[in-house]
Amino acid sequence: MSDIQQNESLKKILPLVLATAIFMQMLDSTILNTSLPAIAKDLHESPLNMQNAIISYVLTLALFMPVSGFLADKFGTRKIFIFSLVVFSLGSLFCALSQDLTQLVISRVIQGIGGSLMTPVGKLAIIKTYPKNELLQAMNYAIVPALIGPVLGPLVGGYMVDYFSWHWIFLINIPMGLLGIILAFRYMPNYLSDATDFDFKGFLIFASASLLLSISIEWLGNTGNITPVLLIFLLGFIMLYFYYRHAKKDSNPIFPLNLFQVRTFRVGILGNLITRLGISSIPLLLPLMIQIAYKETAVVSGWIVAPMAITAIFGKSLVIKILNTFGYRRTLMVNTFTIGVLICCLGIPGIHTSIFWYIPIIAVMGFFNSIQFTSMNTISIADLRNSHTSSGNSLLAVNQQLSIGFGIAFGLIVLKLFESQLSTTGADPHLAFRYSFFVMGILTIISGFVFRRLHSKDGQNMRAKQ
């Protein structure tokens, strides 16, 4: 096989390698939610204590994601990617073999170490493999699992617990991990960059900030006492300020401040953070409403949300044509407004309306979500120099992780506020969900104005390939 044929073969398979990792991570992040009561019963623990199994994973992601770019540059993308798959798969096996909560939490930490490296390093390999005018198409295929995973997670988890056992929600990762390892050995390039001294001080400061913010996010939606949460949140921002001071003086910080001089990166980071506040809450709020207000099972609520995954795949096939026709600025603004209106529409049906009314809304939302995430992720890296690719990609991964967490926590806070107010009037609890959808929808509509900062010709280097 010639070098050209080998390169074309690599380009066809590499997005699939990344898609395998993304799907594993996104499925694992959500599949556990519906299974916690069953795991708690088997391990003789209170369901409330089982939250530690989720928190330990999220905090590990927040701690180790910042170092993913440096490790890939020093040891190579293929080596670190395969290492991450092995660690994640072993962590999944240990989770399934856990005999008590302590063992499960430790196993989830091992999983988190693998998960923190898998997606950022896989994306970095794609960014370095494809020229800018082919990158949109490659990322477009790889990102679909990020849309499907959160939708299928609760549904798959519900079925596995009902018909098999909770152990299978972890064991399902092992064959997928093996497939990823085999594909990576053959098709993942091992990109190395000039080794530089590791900014250990900067890593400690930024990781501390990321860790504190993640802890505040997790506690925000699960505690009645807001004071310690706000203190931890404030400490997280103080650590970010310390990192800013450090990065101004250091000659080689882990995340250079001049990344933010790139306007498309700056808008992409801010857009990811703000728009996900509304969007990320929907896969949690809608199933909750169907189970609590409509008294349906977890499996039924999972099926109501499932069409989002199907239409996300359909949206993937059109996003390149849409971006080539309208450009990033107009696409992102109109698309964000549309998603916001759709979220508001979820608040229209009353308690006596059939739950099937939600299916067309959620299906259309899946289509526009697909366009949203592909567009935001690719515009963020459109104008980064090669020397900034690793650090920019790692920072984008950390930002996405935190923004999803903020979105879920914010959605729960809004819901609890409406629930507490309505409970005093004796109103139907369903109203709290309806009002929450209106708030999250309006917030999403407003967030679309972030993309006004883009220029009409931004991202043209990404849009040249049909």
Whether the per-residue pLDDT at 8 is higher than 80: the answer is no
Pick from 305, 300, 38: nearest CA to 164:
38
Measure the CA–CA gap between 368 and 372, rounded to whole angstroms.
6
CB 83 within 8 A of CB 108: no
Question: What pLDDT is recorded for position 2?
Answer: 44
- The tens digit of pLDDT for each residue in 367-399 reads 898 889 888 888 888 777 777 787 888 888 888
Q: Which of 13-17, 265-269, 317-321, 378-382 has the highest mean pLDDT?
A: 265-269
Pick from 297, 299, 372: nearest CA to 342:
372
Whether the per-residue pLDDT at 145 is higher than 70: the answer is no
Whether the per-residue pLDDT at 465 is higher than 70: the answer is no
Whether the per-residue pLDDT at 171 is higher than 80: the answer is yes
Q: Is 466 helix (H, G, I), strand (E, B) or coil?
A: coil
pLDDT band at 466 (very low <50, low <70, confident <90, very high): very low
Dihedral of the alpha carbons of 123, 126, 127, 129, in degrees to the nearest 10:
160
Question: What pLDDT is recorded for position 1?
Answer: 45
- The tens digit of pLDDT for each residue in 9-34 reads 666 777 778 878 877 777 776 667 66
Question: What pLDDT is recorded for position 373?
Answer: 86
Whether the per-residue pLDDT at 207 is higher than 70: the answer is yes
Question: What pLDDT is recorded for position 337?
Answer: 96
- The tens digit of pLDDT for each residue in 402-439 reads 887 788 778 888 888 888 777 766 667 788 888 999 99
Measure the CA–CA gap between 368 and 365, rounded to whole angstroms.
5
pLDDT band at 49 (very low <50, low <70, confident <90, very high): low
pTM over 0.75? The answer is: yes
- The tens digit of pLDDT for each residue in 67-118 reads 888 888 888 889 999 999 999 999 999 998 888 888 888 999 999 899 889 8
Share of the chain above pLDDT 90, in %: 14
Question: What pLDDT is recorded for position 33?
Answer: 62
Q: What is the DSSP string of 54-104?
A: HHHHHHHHHHHGGGHHHHHHHH-HHHHHHHHHHHHHHHHHHHHH--SHHHH
Measure the CA–CA gap between 397 and 441, rounded to whole angstroms.
25
pLDDT band at 253 (very low <50, low <70, confident <90, very high): confident
Question: What pLDDT is recorded for position 303?
Answer: 80
Question: What pLDDT is recorded for position 224?
Answer: 60
DSSP 8-state secondary structure symbol assigned to residue 440: H
pLDDT band at 463 (very low <50, low <70, confident <90, very high): low
More confident residue, 71 or 160: 71
pLDDT, mean of residues 154-181? 79
Among positive and negative, which fits the CA dihedral 366, 369, 373, 379?
A: positive
